[in-house]
Chain A
Amino acid sequence: MRMRVLITGMGGELGTRLAIQLGSDPGVEAVFGLDIDPPRRRHQAEIHRVDPRDRDRTTALIRGFAPTVLVHLGVYEPYARSSPRSAAERTAVGTLGAVTAAVDAGRLDHIVVRSGTEIYGRRRGAPVHPDEEVRPDPTSPFGRQLLHVERVCNEAGLHAAAPVTSLRFAPLVGPHFPSPLGRYLRMPAVPFAGLADPPFSVLHQEDAAAALLAAVRRPVHGPVNVVGPGAVTASQCALLGRRLPVPTVVPGWTAARWFSELAGAPVPDHVLELLTRGRTVDGSRAEERLGVHPTRSTPSVIRSLYAWDEIEVVASPRAEAA
């Protein structure tokens, strides 16, 4: 049976990439998307602009489509595309609405959900490099948001007797990708934890999209960590990008966050946690479970962040002809 794929959060970078790739897949009958933002590039899939908080409209659209695969990317990171409050509302209400409607439509075979490594938290005594066997214990608002999303999806999977693949992505960073961590690291001066400077790992958007595509094609049940190999520290990032690393200790972070916000790169709690306590995870099982392995290492993703070319405006052929 050919798949009918519903992508929530299709307007984002990952949703757009996935829609383009699934559009040419012979195993896919139709791709249907919902998001508050328009897609970042043109594609053939049908997308409806709807606020995730508008539950009635979301439900009507999803029931009308009756998906067999739900790819839930409607997980909004604070300060990526929305404020922390709006991100939390959109994520919580949107998840409940989309997942319930998809189950009620009665044809659901598989759920793929975008989660994140923030779900493990960095409590005292927590493992520094957790794998999927470690019980989630989030210590930031975004981490708790992700745990809520996973729980809702797992419950829906039980009702629909469908496997749920939770892709726990490392912080997504890359050129043209809206990310609070990416913006922070691109500031002219980068405050870092002067006493610890812990390592963290990131993931490139192309590798994240490849993992999503693999998860749609190969239903596996349970969480899978997806992370770029290797790690970097914040001071190392600053040096790689020829920025000024500024050692900061605990009281200084308030000022650092304030200046960072003033410079257009607000630092949400989960990014501060990453900078002060580190965040790496064991992603070695992604290959055996999904058959994909992130090709870009963490240092190379960071380098690509700084090698981000300026936008070049190219005249369209029609304009040139005129």
Chain B
Amino acid sequence: MTIVEADLEALDPDFERDDLPALVYRRLTGRHRVDEWGLDRDLLAAVAPLASLRWAVRAEGDHHLPEIGPALLVHTRRLGISEPAALGMAVRQATGRPLRVAGVPSRGPLAWTGRRLGGVPSNVDDLRSLLRAGEVVALPLGREPLHAFHVPPVPVPPVEVALRLGVPILPVAVMGVEPARRWVVRIGAPIVTRRRTATGDADELAEATRTRLQHLLTQARRA
């Protein structure tokens, strides 16, 4: 009989340690975990303290983020460099969950780094599989480098996927200036998709998400 060894922490996450010696041991013995989309949780845990040196994130409305289950976070961006990191930090601080960011390149060294840290290429099929697996996925809108308080249109296909799977959509305004350290992440109340079934609802839902986002940004401007 062959007995196949299994890690205790793989069977019971309570046994998983995130201190540096444990991370190094897992890395050297190949016991670190990489998921199907390429996320390396140990690498993310190692990078998180370094990210907090670069960015200081204040999250508002983070009680809307789900502790379990899938969610689609539709967020604004200006240049799109710091926004994924700021939002990822806000989600991690509030729920301890990794954020899956849609839109990393599909090839090249940036693709490798991005996927190891939770990114996926911008692809509706990958978005569907991530949401079906119960992940929190960030969907960045178009870049607005000059008009910080303008919300571009929300793409319909990802909204349609969320609608089909009954996944809540959370509008998120990510605010900050690129070289600055301080960022504010304002998370709106979830837009429930479970009761909507008609196919025409996707366009309407995309527009409703955009309106909610615009409202969040306008509120932030007044504040």
Chain A positions within 8 Å of B, measured between CB atoms, are 124-131, 133-134, 175, 195-199, 201, 230-233, 235-240, 278, 280, 282, 284, 297, 299-300, 303-304, 307-309
Contact = CB atoms under 8 A, between A and B. Distances in A.
Contacts of A124: 106-107
Contacts, number: 96
Contacts of A197: 112
B12 interface: no
Contacts of B128: 131, 133
Contacts of B38: 128, 198-199, 278
Contacts of B129: 127, 129-131, 282
18 contacts: A125-B106, A127-B123, A127-B126, A127-B129, A128-B38, A129-B37, A129-B125, A133-B125, A133-B128, A196-B112, A199-B34, A230-B35, A282-B133, A284-B132, A303-B5, A304-B4, A307-B3, A309-B2
B125 A131 contact: yes
B10 interface: yes
A280 B37 contact: yes
B64 interface: no
A128 B36 CA distance: 8
A231 B123 CA distance: 20
A282 B128 CA distance: 10
B30 interface: yes
A130 B127 CA distance: 10
Contacts of A131: 125, 128-129, 132
Interface of B: 2-6, 10, 28-38, 106-107, 109, 111-112, 115, 120-121, 123, 125-126, 128-130, 132-133
B106 A299 contact: no
Q: Is the interface of A mostly helix, strand, loop or mixed?
A: loop
Contact of B30 (A130, A240, A280, A309): A240
A128 B121 contact: yes
A28 B21 CA distance: 56
Contacts of B35: 199, 230-231
Given A125-B123, A199-B38, 19 more contacts: A128-B36, A128-B38, A128-B115, A128-B123, A129-B36, A129-B126, A130-B125, A133-B125, A198-B115, A199-B34, A230-B33, A239-B28, A239-B30, A282-B132, A282-B133, A284-B132, A304-B4, A307-B2, A307-B5
Contact of A304 (B2, B107, B126, B133): B2
Nearest to A282: B129
A128 B120 contact: yes
Nearest to B34: A199
Contacts of A129: 36-37, 120, 125-126, 129-130
B107 A128 contact: no
A76 B133 CA distance: 32
Nearest to A303: B4
A237 B29 CA distance: 10
A175 B123 CA distance: 36
B72 to A, nearest CB: 17
